[in-house]
């Protein structure tokens, strides 16, 4: 009887181990941080933005930050239609560095929920860098649930939320955000330097009067010498006459 009880106990123990192991095997592994290109590919209509994220390697930078930062990331994702509405040749006219800056201009180095846009401070700093001197300013205003974004060139609104969790927020835009640094008017040309040749011409024009003065003085000296010589000659003649 004792052997039978031990056998039953052992049987239940084996069954428990088998069931527990099966449950552990079926349990999914903990989810890792989101991948920006995977999120956009799943959403659709962001093919051009995905291509630029890959060619500029900004997508890799975003994924690295999602893996190593606690601040999260906010991405403004223009649709394919947004890129198509740009003037022909706009993207091809940009240098590699300008393309990187353009894509980084659509990224905030921290996560912002829709409600947090109401309290965000302007100008908003993007991954493109400097907001001063009209370089990469981004201003956000809210009216009710509408979030409006202005770059100084483009004025648009968040169309919808593509993805949102504790690490990543992706918002759909119907226009590409164009920064002033790249697409703004050129800086005014510097004032021309004073023309030195005119000064030289003026000096040359004044020099004849100086020459005339010098010639006049010389003539006066010569005239005086001639007058004095004439007096001496007359005195000599008178002296000679008296001697006779």
- What is the per-residue pLDDT across 166-212, written as a single tens digit (0 to 9) for each? 999 999 999 999 999 999 887 666 666 666 655 555 555 555 544 44
Quote the tokens at residue 32: 């890792």
In a domain, 44, yes or no: yes
Residue span of the structural domain in which 59 resides: 36-178
pLDDT recorded at residue 242: 47
Task: Take residue 110 and report the two structure tokens written for it.
Answer: 């921290």
Record the tokens describing residue 91, joined without a space: 């993207």
Look at residue 86 in the predicted model and tell me its pLDDT. 97
Asked if the structure places residue 98 within a domain, the reply is yes
List, for the chain, all residue ranges whose pLDDT scores fall below the cut of 50. Answer: 10-11, 14, 16-20, 24-25, 209-221, 223, 227, 241-242, 244
Say if 122 falls within a structural domain: yes
**Residue 79 is assigned to a structural domain of this protein:** yes
Total structural domains in the chain? 1
Per-residue buried b or exposed e for 181-194, using 16+ beta carbons within 10 Å of the residue's own CB = bbbeeeeeeeeeee
Is residue 84 in some structural domain? yes
Determine the pLDDT at residue 116.
95
Is residue 136 in a domain? yes
Q: Is 234 domain-assigned?
A: no
Model-level pTM greater than 0.85?
no
Q: Is residue 6 part of a domain?
A: no
Report the half-sphere exposure of 6 (CA within 13 A, side-chain side): 3
- Here the CATH number for the domain that contains residue 107 is 2.30.180.10
């Amino acid at each position: 009887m004792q052997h039978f009880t031990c056998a039953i106990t052992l049987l239940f123990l084996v069954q428990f181990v088998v069931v527990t192991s099966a449950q552990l095997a079926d349990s999914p592994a903990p989810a890792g941080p989101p991948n920006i290109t995977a999120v956009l590919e799943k959403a659709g209509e962001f093919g051009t933005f995905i291509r630029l994220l890959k060619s500029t390697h900004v997508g890799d930078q975003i994924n690295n930050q999602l893996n190593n930062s606690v601040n999260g990331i906010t991405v403004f994702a223009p649709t394919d239609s947004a890129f198509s509405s740009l003037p022909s040749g706009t993207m091809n006219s940009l240098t590699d560095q300008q393309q990187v800056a353009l894509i980084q201009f659509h990224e905030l180095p921290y996560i912002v929920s829709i409600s947090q846009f109401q309290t965000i401070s302007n100008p908003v700093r993007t991954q493109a860098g400097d907001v001063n001197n009209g370089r990469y300013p981004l201003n956000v205003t809210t009216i009710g649930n509408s979030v409006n974004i202005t770059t100084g060139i483009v004025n648009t609104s968040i169309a919808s939320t593509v993805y949102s969790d504790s690490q990543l927020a992706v918002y759909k835009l119907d226009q590409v955000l164009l920064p002033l640094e790249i697409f703004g008017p050129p800086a005014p040309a510097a004032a021309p330097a004073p023309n030195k040749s005119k000064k030289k011409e003026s000096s040359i024009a004044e020099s004849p009067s100086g020459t005339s003065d010098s010639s006049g003085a010389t003539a006066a000296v010569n005239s005086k010498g001639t007058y004095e010589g004439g007096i001496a000659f007359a005195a000599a003649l008178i002296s000679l006459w008296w001697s006779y």
